[in-house]
């Protein structure tokens, strides 16, 4: 099934022939794109299809390299010292705007340290349990957790990622204590779930094929409204726990990139959004198109950084790492 895409941001892009000579000569060697999560997970799969489509438009190869860790920020932090020539890019997940507020001593500035190129798509998050689990609803989960404090285990793609903090917010509002088990990505977490090592997984839609095959049960999603793909599944907010986690992500580079190179990269990845293989993979993982050009993405990043500060303060997580 496919979701209706929505677009954020506008702005005409100049034709390649009108670009300065620097951009016209770019790229002359492969472009490396750091993925913030592990190989085999939904983000990895999506970016590899994006890279293939962008390669065709850009005229030079885009190579994906996985750099999971640090709450989804390792990919971005790995490019801070790279030359701002457009040959090293990274994914910018929501953790990039959250982690600095949690640090005792802030180690990076998500606004000053990077160049924002394009926002591309976003995640749908949800909580799944094995199909044979006695936990058949969020109501069942809460009842179990109250009877067995700290015994209900859930995996996530890492500490301080959106799926982790969404569950922390939900458990706080529900008055329960859960046991978080961090993994490096969705693929590892799902292996643990299907192997009976944990009781649930909170993550983006890498679990979707397992829901469709009947191996796992989707209990709730975390968006502001129900998904079109699973319209019968309630949101946490709808169930009375006021927990919303929408998570757009896109591409960044080191600070100080040439605007003409940024424009050329933006144009290539924007064009990739119309590639049938890209549309197929984002629909497969129920990811909406959330396009923003460089200027709009930069403005959004600034607003989001301030908004995340309020979230971290509300959860009492300031200075915890």
Span 161-170, mean pLDDT? Answer: 94
What pLDDT does 16 receive? 39
Give 274's DSSP letter. Answer: T
Over 50: is that where the pLDDT of 18 sits?
A: no
Integer Cα distance of 212 and 207 in angstroms: 9
Q: Per residue in 305-318, pLDDT tens?
A: 998 998 899 888 99
Query: What integer is the mean pLDDT of 44-64?
Result: 97
pLDDT digits (tens, 9 = 90+) for 219-248: 999 998 899 899 999 999 999 999 999 889
Provide the whole-model pTM.
Answer: 0.84
Q: What is the pLDDT of residue 24?
A: 76
Question: Which region among 30-34, 104-108, 198-202 has the lowest average model confidence (pLDDT)?
Answer: 104-108
How is residue 35 written in tokens? 């993925």
Residue 21 confidence class, pLDDT cut points 50, 70, 90: low
Q: What is the mean pLDDT of the chain?
A: 92
Does residue 8 register a pLDDT over 90?
no
Q: What is the mean pLDDT of residues 42-65?
A: 96
User: What is the DSSP track for 256-272?
Assistant: T--HHHHHHHHHHHHHH
Q: Output 22-28 pairs: Cβ under 8 A, ≥24 positions apart.
A: 22/258, 22/260, 22/261, 23/258, 23/260, 23/261, 23/263, 23/264, 26/60, 26/85, 26/86, 26/261, 26/264, 27/58, 27/59, 27/60, 27/61, 27/86, 27/87, 28/60
Q: What is the residue-wise DSSP string for 44-59?
A: HHHHHHHHHHHHHHHT
Cα–Cα–Cα angle for 43, 162, 94, rounded to 5 degrees: 70
pLDDT at 22: 60
**Does the structure show a pLDDT above 80 at 13?**
no
- Residue predicted with more confidence, 292 or 16: 292
Q: What is the pLDDT averaged over residues 115-134? A: 97
Give the mean pLDDT of 154-166.
93
pLDDT at 9: 42
- Indicate whether 7 pLDDT > 90: no
Cβ pair 168, 194 in contact under 8 A:
no
The span from the CA of 11 to the CA of 213, in Å, is 41
């Amino acid at each position: 099934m496919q979701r209706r895409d929505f677009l954020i941001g506008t702005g005409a892009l100049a034709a390649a022939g009108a670009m300065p000579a620097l951009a016209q000569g770019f790229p002359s060697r492969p472009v490396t794109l750091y993925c913030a999560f592990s190989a085999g997970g939904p983000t990895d799969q999506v970016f590899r299809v994006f890279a293939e489509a962008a390669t065709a438009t850009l005229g030079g190869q885009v190579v994906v390299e996985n750099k999971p860790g640090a709450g989804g920020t390792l990919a971005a932090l790995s490019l801070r010292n790279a030359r701002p020539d457009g040959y090293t890019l990274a994914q910018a997940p929501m953790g990039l705007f959250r982690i600095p507020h949690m640090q005792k001593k802030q180690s990076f500035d998500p606004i000053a340290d990077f160049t924002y190129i394009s926002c591309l798509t976003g995640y749908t998050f949800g909580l799944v349990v094995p199909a044979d689990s006695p936990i058949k609803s969020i109501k069942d989960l809460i009842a179990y957790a109250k009877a067995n404090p700290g015994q209900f285990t859930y995996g996530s793609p890492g500490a301080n990622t959106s799926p982790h903090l969404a569950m922390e917010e939900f458990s706080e509002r529900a008055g329960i204590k859960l046991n978080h088990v961090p993994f490096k990505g969705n693929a590892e977490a799902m292996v643990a779930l299907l192997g009976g090592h944990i009781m649930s997984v909170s993550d983006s839609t890498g679990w979707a094929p397992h829901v469709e095959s009947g191996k796992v049960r989707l209990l709730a999603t975390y968006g502001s409204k129900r998904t079109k793909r699973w319209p019968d599944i309630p949101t946490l907010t709808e169930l009375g726990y006021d927990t919303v986690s929408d998570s757009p992500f896109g591409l960044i580079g080191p600070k100080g990139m040439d605007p003409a190179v940024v424009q050329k990269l933006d144009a290539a990845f924007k064009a990739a959004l119309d590639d049938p293989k890209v549309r197929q993979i984002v629909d497969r993982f129920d990811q909406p198109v959330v396009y923003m050009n460089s200027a709009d993405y930069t403005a959004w990043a600034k607003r989001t950084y301030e908004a995340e500060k309020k979230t971290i303060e509300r959860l009492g997580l300031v200075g915890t790492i």
